[in-house]
């Protein structure tokens, strides 16, 4: 069957870039190979002038970046030319005095002829209690959104963790059950994608990236899924 807009899946990927401290060219090649419609990002650099490095990465990856995100804590997202996206926003999460800032990035996007979808990039805290508090806050805001939702990112815990459980109670886990960290020798599943309101989901096949020097790009493996709405 031809992929008309109402049948064409939306490919969503999530990727922790570790501040582009590794080989950004390889990371961009990885993204090009995956060819996502929307790329949810974590640990996007925030140092002065880093917007030039991020824009260069977006061009090399064949993606569009609004330039308006990553300012609070390093979450961001990029989109392909195949989708129409609203301005993405950083929404801060509550942390203590002198603690590392935390936020999530959200945008509304659509493919012509299909319903709009809210997409969210998260990077949860290293502190367990804070992870639960933060993801609960994100989900409370999403509960007010009638549109389908896709949430992905680095949860900093595996599927046995309490914050992961909070997400899985509200949204369906749609990414593949495989370790994502460290990229050089994956042992822990920290990165995942969840969705609500989709009709079908097909997990990304890691064989697509076979032969690529993934550990040279960053310390996390990318995760992606094809969703039909």
Q: Which of 67, 72, 76, 70 is nearest to 13 (CA)?
A: 76
Q: Is 1 part of any domain? A: no
What pLDDT shows up at residue 70?
Answer: 59
47 band by pLDDT with thresholds 50, 70 and 90: confident
Q: Is 115 part of any domain? A: yes
- Mean pLDDT, residues 37-57: 92
Is residue 163 classed as helix, strand or coil in its secondary structure?
helix
* pLDDT over 70, % of the chain: 94
Q: Is 25 part of any domain? A: yes
For residue 95, CA distances in Å to 19, 108, 124, 132, 148 come to: 21, 26, 12, 13, 28
The owner of tokens 């609004």 is 66
Model pLDDT for residues 115-143, shown as the tens digit of each residue? 899 999 999 999 999 999 999 999 999 99
What pLDDT shows up at residue 7?
Answer: 64
Structural domain containing residue 209: 10-222
Please list the alpha-helical segments (H only) found in 87-202: 128-142, 162-170
- pLDDT of 204 strictly over 80: yes
The owner of tokens 């549109």 is 147
Q: Which of 155, 188, 185 is nearest to 173 (CA)?
A: 155
- Mean pLDDT, residues 165-189: 97
Q: CB 143: neighbour CB atoms within 10 A? A: 11
Q: What is the number of domains present in the chain?
A: 1
Is residue 189 classed as helix, strand or coil in its secondary structure?
coil
The owner of tokens 């046995």 is 160
Model pLDDT for residues 20-41, shown as the tens digit of each residue? 999 999 999 999 999 999 999 9
Model pLDDT for residues 68-92, shown as the tens digit of each residue? 655 667 899 999 999 998 878 899 9
Q: Which of 86, 63, 87 is nearest to 15 (CA)?
A: 63
Q: Is 198 part of any domain? A: yes
What pLDDT shows up at residue 1?
Answer: 46
For residue 81, CA distances in Å to 27, 36, 56, 145 come to: 19, 10, 17, 25
Q: Is 2 part of any domain? A: no
101 band by pLDDT with thresholds 50, 70 and 90: confident
What pLDDT shows up at residue 116?
Answer: 92
Q: Is 228 part of any domain? A: no
What pLDDT shows up at residue 128?
Answer: 93
96 band by pLDDT with thresholds 50, 70 and 90: confident
- pLDDT of 108 strictly over 80: yes
Non-local CB neighbours of 59 within 8 Å, separated by 6+ positions: none
What pLDDT shows up at residue 72?
Answer: 65
Q: Using CA atoms, how far apart are residues 224 and 80, in angstroms rounded to an integer?
A: 14
Q: Is 127 part of any domain? A: yes
What pLDDT shows up at residue 99?
Answer: 83
Q: Using CA atoms, how far apart are residues 191 and 106, in angstroms rounded to an integer?
A: 17
Question: What CATH number is attached to the domain comprising 211?
Answer: 3.60.10.10
């Amino acid at each position: 069957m031809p992929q008309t807009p109402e049948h064409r899946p939306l490919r969503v990927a999530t990727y922790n870039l570790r501040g582009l401290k590794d080989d950004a060219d390889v990371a961009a090649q990885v993204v090009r190979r995956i060819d996502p419609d929307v790329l949810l990002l974590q640990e996007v650099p925030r140092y002065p002038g880093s917007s030039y490095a991020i824009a260069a990465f977006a061009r090399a990856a064949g993606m569009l970046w609004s330039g308006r995100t990553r300012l609070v804590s390093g979450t961001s997202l990029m989109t392909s030319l195949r989708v129409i996206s609203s301005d993405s926003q950083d929404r801060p999460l509550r942390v203590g005095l002198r603690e590392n800032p935390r936020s999530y990035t959200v945008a509304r996007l659509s493919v012509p002829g299909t319903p709009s979808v809210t997409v969210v990039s998260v990077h949860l805290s290293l502190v367990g209690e804070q992870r639960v508090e933060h993801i609960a806050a994100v989900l409370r805001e999403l509960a007010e959104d009638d549109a389908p939702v896709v949430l992905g990112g680095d949860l900093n815990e595996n599927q046995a963790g309490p914050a992961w459980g909070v997400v899985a109670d509200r949204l369906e886990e749609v990414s593949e059950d495989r370790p994502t960290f460290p990229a050089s020798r994956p042992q822990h599943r920290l990165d995942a994608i969840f969705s609500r309101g989709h009709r079908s989901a097909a997990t990304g096949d890691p064989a697509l990236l076979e032969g690529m020097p993934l550990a040279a790009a960053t310390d996390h493996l990318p995760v992606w899924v094809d969703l039909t709405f």
